[in-house]
Structure 1
Amino acid sequence: MSVNVGDIAPNFELPDIDLKMRTLNEFKGKKIILSFFVAASSPICENEMCNFRDSWKEISNLGAQVVAISNDGPFANKAFAQKHNLNFPLLADYNSKTIRDYDVLMPHLLHIKDYNAAKRSVFIIMEDGKIGYKWVSEDPLKEPNYEEIKKFLK
């Protein structure tokens, strides 16, 4: 089932890089940039996550928090986060449940049968828990429009 602008964002409970379980509810009260990324340490994902890292101050000043999710395990995410000094939570959806809840499952990454990954996508969840912005790409090599995201936050 598709999740659209105006819908209540599906909750999740996923481990972060330190194996602490994190939920969507703990970030309520501010806007959340929920970024689903394809694979830790892949070149486009590095660009995307580093762009969010480098925009951290501006995003924070706009009252928002970045939370990134992939179906990589917490250990791969930890190595990725440490290598790039990422300053926001990276969550491991290793069974793709949350990825399915947001309807952004890519079932055959780069034509490898049954290699599940998240479609590169961004949801902005508003303070009331509803989705205010949605961008989903069928092309794992396409990055989101960062300026559009910041403009939406303003």
Structure 2
Amino acid sequence: MSLSVGDVAPEFSLPDQDRQVVSLAELRGRPVLVVFYPFAFSGICTGELCQLRDELATYTDAGVTVVAISTDPVFSLKAFKAQEGLEFPLLSDFWPHGATAQAYGVFNDKAGMAVRGTFLVDAEGRVAFAEVNQPGDAREQSGWKDAVAKIAA
């Protein structure tokens, strides 16, 4: 079962595409948009993350840190980030495989991947927005923007 608004967001410490560890605890004090996606280089995921890249100022101008998490290894994430010009950290939930996605309730055990879960964590570490889409179901990002506008107000 995925998280709901008001829940305490589970902590995580994951390596980014450069093998630098990023933890939710270190980001405390400002809102964080946590975007789980199935796989780097897949069609829908690439489209979603490129839209996020193109509209990144919507989030950063509101003081929101953006991180994207998949079960891909760091080496794939490094190549994906470079190819697509992504300007936010891509975090690897590769090992233990999908542990963070499991904690957020967005891990597909049968496929071994995260589903499309999006969580806006407020500055105190509580979920302010939660949305889960299944594989093949692209996300509409307007809900994220509305949640960011509310939290920034």
TM-score for both structures, normalised by structure 1:
0.91
Q: How does 1:37-116 map to 2 (within 5 A)?
A: 37-94=37-94, 95-109=97-111, 116=112
Q: Which residue of 2 aligns with 1:147?
A: 142
Alignment of 1:109-148 (within 5 A): 109=111, 116-138=112-134, 140-148=135-143
User: How many Å apart are 1:105 and its aligned residue?
Assistant: 0.8
Q: How many residues are treated as equivalent by the alignment?
A: 147
Q: What is the CA–CA distance in structure 2 between the aligned matches of 1:6 and 1:41, rounded to whole Å?
A: 33
Say whether the 8 Å CA contact 1:121–1:144 is kept in structure 2. Answer: no
SS across alignment from 1:100: helix
Q: Which runs of 5 or more residues in structure 1 are unaligned?
A: 110-115
Q: CA deviation at 1:80?
A: 0.5
Displacement of 1:3 in angstroms is: 2.1
Letter in 2 for 1:92: S
Q: Distance in 2 between matches of 1:2 and 1:150?
A: 20
SS at match of 2:77: helix
1:122·1:144 contact (CA, 8 Å) conserved in 2?
A: no
Q: Which runs of 4+ in 1 moved over 4 A?
A: none
CA positional deviation for 1:26:
1.7
Aligned position for 2:24 = 24
Measured against aligned partners, the alpha-carbon deviations of 1:39-90 in whole angstroms (never above 9, x if no partner) come to 0000101011111111111211122111000000000011100000100010
AA matched with 1:107: D
**Aligned equivalents of 1:133, 1:86: Cα separation in 2:** 23
Give the 3-state SS of the residue equivalent to 1:144 in structure 2: coil
Report the Cα distance in structure 2 between the residues aligned to 1:143 and 1:25, rounded to whole angstroms. 29
How far 1:108 moved relative to its partner?
Answer: 2.8
SS, match of residue 134 in structure 1: strand
The two structures, once aligned, show a CA RMSD in angstroms of: 1.1
Secondary structure of 1:121 counterpart: strand
**Local SS of the residue matching 2:57:** helix
Whole-angstrom distance in 2 between the partners of 1:2 and 1:88: 24
Q: What displacement does 1:4 show?
A: 1.6
Give unpaired runs (5+ residues) of structure 2: none
Distance 1:2 1:135, change over 3 A: closer
Residue pair 1:106, 1:117 contacting (<8 A) in 2 also: yes
